[in-house]
């Protein structure tokens, strides 16, 4: 366990631009809620404590992603990211070390990128680091302003930025590594003197620099990993990235896909080496497929167990069934649901 590391995940927002009755962090992505992907990656770090700040539909969120390793805190009013962090202070009162702050709607961030960021943070010897990326069209993201030595001087929200600052292509990802003592001292001093009347976590940089402390902007080479989900279009973009990442990982593990762009495999599925998957096949839920199996084309399999060397032929649908070793199913079979 990393005794000097805490993970703090901000997941209280409603997600108004999703235009949904479901809170944003519970929208599904490749078989799991957005927040579950963040938690899965964070668990690789084996932190001493993981705190999740919840707000909208708090009980539903807690029930969906519950785990013995999680501590939930309630942000009753959503007054900005700085206010969300302040809500977590009681849960981290006994912790001393680095707090890694993540967003519950940034599901593609890999454990390796987190580890690289934390390593660079330690090497910077600063009490505060921010993960940044460069985007050709930074849009509404907060801009990163560096000083003459390359240290982070401030982060400016796009809506508050000058034309010169808007021309900057390096943006804030919303991912921070902060010394716990500095973090909670700083958020206690935040002010809501901006257009949104919210407490910005980005202002912690100004407070740190005002005390004569340095802050690091650590540039990541993986901009697609920090894609935040704000609406259905961005959810579809993340789905495309994660689908490709998942399929190519399975192929490197020994699975054959005749056309990987035409195969959909949720992240909860398990596949053995020497499985062959033909185009237009969907593998969903807790499906498990054993070695030597051939599936497709045009098949859909949900929460099923497919034993060794089975053949699932053209157009077959299987839901919740176990297909025995060497069985042939289909074509155009329906198994397990009528």
CATH of the domain at 191: 3.90.550.10
Statement: residue 230 has pLDDT above 60: yes
User: In terms of domains, do 284 and 157 share one?
Assistant: no
CA 52/CA 336 separation, integer angstroms: 38
pLDDT at 197: 62
Q: Is residue 115 part of a domain?
A: yes
Statement: residue 194 has pLDDT above 70: no
Q: Count of alpha carbons within 13 Å of 318, Cβ hemisphere only?
A: 32
Domain boundary among 226, 242, 270: 226
User: In terms of domains, do 190 and 322 share one?
Assistant: no
Domain boundary among 179, 211, 226: 226
User: pLDDT confidence of 191, banded at 50, 70, 90?
Assistant: low
User: In terms of domains, do 7 and 156 share one?
Assistant: yes
pLDDT, tens digit, 9 for 90 and up, residues 3-47: 799 999 999 999 899 999 999 999 999 999 999 999 999 999 999
Q: Which residue did the predictor score with more confidence, 215 or 1? A: 215
Catalytic residue among 17, 122, 191, 211: 17
> In 112-229, which ranges are E strands?
128-134, 143-146, 152-156, 170-179, 215-219
Domain boundary among 226, 261, 280: 226
Annotated active-site residue 286? The verdict is: no
Statement: residue 274 has pLDDT above 80: yes
User: In terms of domains, do 220 and 82 share one?
Assistant: yes
Residue 171 in contact with residue 209, Cβ under 8 Å?
no
Number of domains making up the chain = 2
pLDDT at 289: 98
Domain membership of residue 280 as a residue range? 253-335
Q: Is residue 174 part of a domain?
A: yes
User: In terms of domains, do 215 and 290 share one?
Assistant: no
User: In terms of domains, do 71 and 135 share one?
Assistant: yes
Q: Is residue 302 part of a domain?
A: yes
Q: Is residue 103 part of a domain?
A: yes
pLDDT, tens digit, 9 for 90 and up, residues 286-297: 999 999 999 999
Instruction: For residues 270-291, give the mean pLDDT.
Output: 98
User: In terms of domains, do 155 and 84 share one?
Assistant: yes
Tell me how many helices (H) and strands (E) the chain has: 8, 25
Of 49-58, 73-82, 258-267, 299-308, the least confident: 73-82
User: In terms of domains, do 10 and 95 share one?
Assistant: yes
User: In terms of domains, do 220 and 284 share one?
Assistant: no
Q: What whole-number percentage of the chain has pLDDT above 90?
A: 78
Instruction: For residues 198-210, give the mean pLDDT.
Output: 83
In 3-state terms, what secondary structure has residue 119? helix
Identify the CATH number of the domain in which residue 330 sits. Answer: 2.160.10.10
Q: Is residue 166 part of a domain?
A: yes
Statement: residue 192 has pLDDT above 70: no
Q: Which residue did the predictor score with more confidence, 118 or 210? A: 118
Q: Is residue 240 part of a domain?
A: no
User: In terms of domains, do 157 and 41 share one?
Assistant: yes
This prediction has a pTM of: 0.93
User: pLDDT confidence of 186, banded at 50, 70, 90?
Assistant: confident
- Whole-Å CA distances, 110 to 128, 143, 253, 315: 21, 23, 18, 35
State the distance between the two ends of the chain, measured CA to CA, in whole angstroms.
48
User: In terms of domains, do 216 and 312 share one?
Assistant: no
Q: Is residue 61 part of a domain?
A: yes
User: In terms of domains, do 171 and 267 share one?
Assistant: no
Q: Is residue 248 part of a domain?
A: no
Residue 73 in contact with residue 90, Cβ under 8 Å?
yes
């Amino acid at each position: 366990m990393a005794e000097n590391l805490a993970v703090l995940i901000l997941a209280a927002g409603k997600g108004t631009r999703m235009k949904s009755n479901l809170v944003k962090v519970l929208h599904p992505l490749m078989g799991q809620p957005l927040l579950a992907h963040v938690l899965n990656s964070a668990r690789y770090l084996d932190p001493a404590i993981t705190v999740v700040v919840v707000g909208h539909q708090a009980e539903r969120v807690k029930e969906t992603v519950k785990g013995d390793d999680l501590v939930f805190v309630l942000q009753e009013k959503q007054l900005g990211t700085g206010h969300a962090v302040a809500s977590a202070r009681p849960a981290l009162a006994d912790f001393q070390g680095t707090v890694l702050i993540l967003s519950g709607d940034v599901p593609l961030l890999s454990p390796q990128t987190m580890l690289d960021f934390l390593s660079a943070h330690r090497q910077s010897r600063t009490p505060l680091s921010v993960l940044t990326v460069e985007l050709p069209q930074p849009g509404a993201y907060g801009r990163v302003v560096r000083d003459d030595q390359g240290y982070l001087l401030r982060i400016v929200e796009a809506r508050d930025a000058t034309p010169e600052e808007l021309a900057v292509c390096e943006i804030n990802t919303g991912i921070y590594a902060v010394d716990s003592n500095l973090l909670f001292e700083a958020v206690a001093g935040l002010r809501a003197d901006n257009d949104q009347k919210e407490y910005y976590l980005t202002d912690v940089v100004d407070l740190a620099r005002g005390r004569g402390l340095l802050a690091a902007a650590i540039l990541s080479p993986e901009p697609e990993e920090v894609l935040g989900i704000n609406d259905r279009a961005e959810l579809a973009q993340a789905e495309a990235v994660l689908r490709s990442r998942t399929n190519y990982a399975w192929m490197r593990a020994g699975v054959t896909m005749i056309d990987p762009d035409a195969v959909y495999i949720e992240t909860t599925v398990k596949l053995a080496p020497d499985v062959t998957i033909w185009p237009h096949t969907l593998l969903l839920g807790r499906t498990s497929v054993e070695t030597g199996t051939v599936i497709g084309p045009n098949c859909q399999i949900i929460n099923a167990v497919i034993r060794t060397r089975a053949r699932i032929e053209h157009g077959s649908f299987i839901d919740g069934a176990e297909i025995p070793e060497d069985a042939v199913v289909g074509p155009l079979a329906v198994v397990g649901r009528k």
